[in-house]
Amino acid sequence: MFKILVVEDDTEIRQLYTKILRRNNYDVIEACDGYEALTILETNLINLIVTDIMMSKMDGFELLTSLRSAGYTMPILMITAKDSFDDLQQGFLSGADDYMTKPININEMVLRVQALLRRAEMATEHRFVIGKTVFEYDSYTVIDNSFEQILPQKEFLLLFYLISNCGKAFTRLQLMDEVWGYSTETDPHTVDVHINRLRNRFNDNPDFEIITIRGMGYKVVKKHE
């Protein structure tokens, strides 16, 4: 079970986040400020952090900077009432992976948590093999019968996500959320463009192919079981 640290100085809001996350089968630990969060991290393995910005003693920006400086790499979702571009920029520069502005949609928060955890899992796997084709996450490289291709970032992330969920179909919107992020303003048909490029690259690959699901989206299937 994934363990999530919720850092929020408003007791009612903190308890609401905790209740919703536990309802979605996450193990949750609460902290009322950045200092308490750092203390908890000394003795607990945390998979993801949900944190407010405006807190007494140590605010969210200071917490993020401290965590990243100390080498913590877990995904961090910032939830705050501050919605200016400067605050958004500071959040990401401090090390946030995603950012939501209050008042938030609780169901959207859960979706973002799920997406961040999936991406973190993909990043820690680093490598995926299907048949004789090897996918190296760290270098965006695909090795196919000793021939190496270094793919553009979005192409690789799209292919890696489909490959690591082999046999499962995804809509264009789901793929946009996973690869481009929830906040992107990119046209969902960009997915079609990237899929066509991937098909051109791996048209002769003996291990997998990208299938179009009419009226829905795409999936990757193995050519030979």
Give the pLDDT of residue 77: 94
Question: How would CATH label the architecture of 126-222?
Answer: Orthogonal Bundle (1.10)
Q: Euclidean distance between the first and final Cα of the chain, in Å?
A: 31
Sequence spans of domains, the chain: 3-122, 126-222
pLDDT at 99: 86
Nearest to 217 by CA among 180, 163, 162, 164: 162
**Is residue 26 a contact partner of residue 50, using CB atoms and an 8 Å limit?**
no
Q: Is 140 left (phi over 0), alpha (psi -120 to 50) or beta?
A: left
Say which CATH topology domain 3-122 has.
Rossmann fold (3.40.50)
- Phi, psi dihedrals of residue 218, rounded to the nearest 5°: -145, 160
| The pair of three-digit structure tokens given for residue 19, joined into one six-digit string | 């209740």
**What pLDDT score does 24 carry?**
94
Give the integer Cα–Cα distance in Å for 160 and 112. 19
| Residue ranges of the chain with per-residue pLDDT less than 70 | 83-84, 122-125, 182-183, 224-225
Q: What is the DSSP letter of 104?
A: P
Please tell me the number of Cα atoms within 13 Å of 1 on its side-chain side: 11
Which one-letter DSSP state was computed for residue 183? T
Domains 3-122 and 126-222 share a fold: no
pLDDT in the model for residue 1: 75
Q: DSSP states of 5-27 as a string?
A: EEE-S-HHHHHHHHHHHHHTT-E
Q: Which amino acid is at 10?
A: D
Distance CA 96, CA 99 (A): 7
pLDDT of the residue at 188: 72
Pairing of β 141-144 and β 133-136: antiparallel
Digit-coded pLDDT (tens) for 26-47: 999 999 999 999 999 988 889 9
**In this predicted structure, what is the pLDDT of residue 216?**
86
Residue 224's pLDDT is what? 67
> Which contiguous run of DSSP H or E holds residue 64?
helix 60-69
